[in-house]
């Protein structure tokens, strides 16, 4: 009995030692369990975007595991993808706990990242032409669109659109240019054999003779396009966008080659009339009048430097080209002006009517699309001399006109209106300013008083004739302070406002007349 008890105790002791040894070995050598470290966190529950991705015994390599998971997700797409990657963890200190391998955590991270994957962005090129913008799938599509613009004016394929990387730009941008394929081919041609002695002297003489346009006949010139380039500020920038933002080349080409109507500004030049501007801009005169509020009709005054709104019809992209052309044309001689220092600049008289001539020319012409912007005549053969238009014009600056009253509220404008009282005109020939009776009235411009007194429906009036031939009228006055024949200066007090004549209340009626016809005063007041 004692022998059996003693053997049993030995066996149990041996089993306990083996169990303790196994536990120690597991703690030391098995990576799936965390090691115990007193007073330090050694057990970490990892979350990615709020999703449980496992347990680790250390977070030292956590960022590396996440970076590898993101790389795996990104590698599965040729495009740029955006994914949320908000990594968090709970930490604790334990004696014994099972942890996951890094591979397991990484795989779970990949799964969590895919669930929060944003839109896939595809590589593209953004083509900007002025106010127009297109997103195209690749560089070949960009060149296809640009080439379509060139092909509108040239059909033998000599000029090609080219994209060149621009190293000076911070963004990955491309520079647009146009190359002449014929010149490139010629650059590879064999160099000419050099000549010396008398032969070189003869060749030089022939070249000098050929350089003079007078020595060349019309058949000696080469005609056609000399150069082409894009006239707009064209930008091509690499971008990443969603697939539904891609424009097909066919759609972009359709917009690029389609003529669009847009408003532009024309600055009035010396000698311009509305009719001549209509011819220059190919915009009907009634359209110009419609677009510009300060123009009433074809007789409205325009001055040098005035800016008029006109419309132009052209495609969104500008192709600038230079062509050498033979032209048989009817031409006009330049207008000849005779300056008259006694006249105002508003006065002019045609002394000789023009007559068109006929000539044959060779010209180097610069176009923006189909609009001619410059011309250099290389050869000129006149068949019939043009007769110039001769115009005598004034050089003196005309008088200015100021508002004849201080303050006041404009109670009636120029033009059509509802008659304010019985017998009053429905076509108002001036402007009314409502002011108290007795308000000072000043001469709008210097001149000679032609009438001062009663003027029927106008009540008490003052009429002033000005040196430029215009006349100003002041009506419904309470008191006249000048007399007929008197010379007055601009800003001189000439009367007091009132309510005389056919009037519905105290106000000043003011007119400006040109050649006896009333015009809108607001267009002439400074």
Percent of the chain residues topping a pLDDT of 70: 82
pLDDT at 195: 46
pLDDT of 274-326, one tens digit each? 888 988 888 888 889 989 988 888 878 888 889 999 987 888 889 999 999 99
Q: At residue 346, does pLDDT exceed 80? A: no
| pLDDT at residue 206, as a whole number | 44
Cβ-Cβ contacts under 8 Å for 137 (sequence gap 6 or more): 122, 124, 125, 246
**Residue 379 banded pLDDT, cuts 50, 70, 90:** very high
Q: In the structure, what pLDDT confidence band is assigned to residue 365 with cuts at 50, 70 and 90?
A: very high
Q: Say which CATH topology domain 325-398 has.
A: Resuscitation-promoting factor rpfb fold (2.20.230)
Residue 142 has pLDDT above 90, yes or no: yes
Report whether pLDDT(419) > 90: no
Please report the pLDDT score of residue 431 as a whole number.
Answer: 94
Q: Where are the domains of the chain?
A: 1-28, 43-115, 124-184+215-255, 325-398, 409-523
CA nearest to 253, candidates 156, 138, 143:
143
Report the predicted TM-score, pTM, of the whole model to 2 decimal places: 0.52
Neighbours of 112 (CB within 10 A): 22
Judging by DSSP bridges, how do beta strands 319-331 and 224-230 pair with one another? antiparallel
How far is it, in rounded angstroms, from Cα 464 to Cα 458?
Answer: 15
- Tens digit of each residue's pLDDT (9 = 90 or more) over 6-43: 555 565 666 666 566 655 555 544 545 555 454 578 89
pLDDT digits (tens, 9 = 90+) for 322-345: 999 999 999 999 999 999 999 888
- The C-alpha atoms of residue 37 and residue 282 are separated, in whole angstroms, by 91
Closest CA to 118 of 82, 65, 155: 82
Mean pLDDT, rounded, for 161-177: 78
> 371, 253, 249: which is closest to 319 by C-alpha?
371
- 93 and 58 in contact (C-beta within 8 Å)? no
Residues 406 and 362 sit within 8 Å (Cβ to Cβ): no
Does an H or E element contain 494, and which? strand 493-497
- As a whole number, the mean pLDDT across the chain is 84
Sign of CA dihedral 224, 226, 230, 236: positive
Q: Which residues contact 184 (CB under 8 A, 6 or more apart)?
A: none
SS (H, E, C) 412-478: ECCEECCCCCCCCCCEECCEEEECCCCCEEECCCCEEEEEEEECHHHCEEEEEECCCCEEEEEEEEE
Average pLDDT over residues 392-404: 91
Statement: residue 492 has pLDDT above 80? yes
Read off the pLDDT of each residue in 89-106 and give the average, rounded to a whole number: 89
Return the residue matching tokens 């020939």. 429
Question: What secondary structure does DSSP assign to 268-281, as a single string?
Answer: PPTT--HHHHHHHH
Neighbours of 355 (CB within 10 A): 13
For residues 511 and 425, give the distance between their C-alpha atoms in angstroms, rounded to a whole number: 14
Higher-confidence position of 441 and 204: 441
The three-point CA angle 151-155-157 to 5° equals 85
The per-residue DSSP string of 121-165 comes to: EEEEEEEEETTEEEEESSHHHHHHHHHHHHHTT--SS-EEEEEEE
Q: Which CATH class is domain 409-523?
A: mainly beta
8 A C-beta contact, residue 201 and residue 98: no
List beta partners, residue 77: none
Residue 212's pLDDT band, with cuts at 50, 70 and 90, is low
């Amino acid at each position: 009995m004692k022998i059996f008890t003693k053997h049993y105790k030995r066996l149990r002791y041996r089993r306990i030692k083996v169990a303790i040894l196994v536990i120690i070995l597991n703690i030391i050598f098995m990576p799936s369990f965390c090691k115990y470290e007193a007073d330090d966190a050694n057990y970490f529950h990892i979350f990615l975007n709020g999703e449980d991705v496992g347990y680790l015994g250390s977070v030292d390599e956590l960022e590396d595991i996440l970076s590898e998971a993101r790389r795996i997700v990104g590698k599965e797409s040729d495009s740029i993808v955006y994914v949320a990657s908000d990594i968090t963890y709970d930490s604790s200190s334990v004696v014994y706990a099972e942890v996951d391998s890094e591979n397991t955590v990484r795989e779970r991270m990949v799964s969590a990242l895919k669930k929060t994957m944003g839109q896939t962005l595809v590589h593209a090129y953004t083509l900007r032409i002025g106010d127009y913008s297109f997103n195209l799938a690749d560089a070949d599509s960009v060149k296809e669109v640009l080439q379509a613009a060139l092909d509108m004016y040239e059909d033998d394929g000599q000029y090609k659109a080219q994209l060149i990387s621009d190293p000076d730009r911070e963004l990955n941008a491309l520079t647009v240019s146009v190359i002449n394929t014929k010149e490139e081919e010629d650059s590879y041609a064999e160099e000419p054999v050099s000549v010396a002695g008398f032969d070189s002297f003869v060749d030089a003489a022939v070249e000098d003779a050929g350089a003079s346009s007078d020595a060349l006949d019309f058949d000696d010139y080469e005609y056609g396009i000399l150069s082409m380039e894009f006239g707009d500020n064209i930008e091509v920038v690499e971008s990443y966008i969603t697939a539904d933002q891609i424009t097909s080349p066919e759609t972009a080409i359709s917009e690029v080659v389609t003529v669009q109507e847009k408003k532009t500004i024309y600055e009035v030049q010396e000698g311009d009339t509305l009719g001549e501007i209509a011819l220059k801009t190919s915009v009907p005169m009634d359209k110009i009048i419609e677009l510009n509020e300060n123009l009433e009709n074809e007789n409205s005054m325009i001055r040098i430097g005035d800016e008029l709104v006109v419309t132009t019809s052209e495609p969104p992209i500008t192709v600038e080209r230079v062509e050498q052309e033979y032209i048989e044309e009817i031409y006009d001689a330049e207008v000849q002006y005779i300056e008259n220092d006694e006249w105002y600049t508003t006065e002019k008289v045609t002394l000789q009517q023009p007559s068109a001539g006929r000539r044959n020319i060779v010209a180097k012409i610069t176009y923006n699309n189909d609009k001619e912007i410059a011309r250099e005549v290389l050869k000129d053969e006149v068949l019939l001399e043009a007769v110039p238009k001769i115009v005598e014009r004034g050089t003196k600056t005309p008088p200015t006109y100021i508002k004849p009253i201080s303050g006041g509220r404009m109670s009636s404008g120029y033009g059509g209106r509802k008659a304010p009282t019985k017998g009053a005109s429905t076509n108002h020939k001036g402007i009314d300013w409502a002011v108290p009776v007795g308000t000072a009235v000043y001469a709008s411009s210097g001149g000679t008083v032609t009438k001062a007194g009663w003027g029927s429906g106008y009540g008490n009036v003052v009429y002033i004739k000005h040196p430029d031939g215009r006349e100003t009228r002041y009506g419904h006055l309470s008191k006249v302070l000048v007399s007929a024949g008197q010379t007055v200066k601009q800003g001189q007090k000439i009367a007091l406002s009132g309510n005389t004549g056919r009037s519905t209340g105290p106000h000043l009626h003011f007119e400006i007349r040109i050649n006896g016809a009333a015009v809108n005063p607001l267009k002439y007041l400074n």
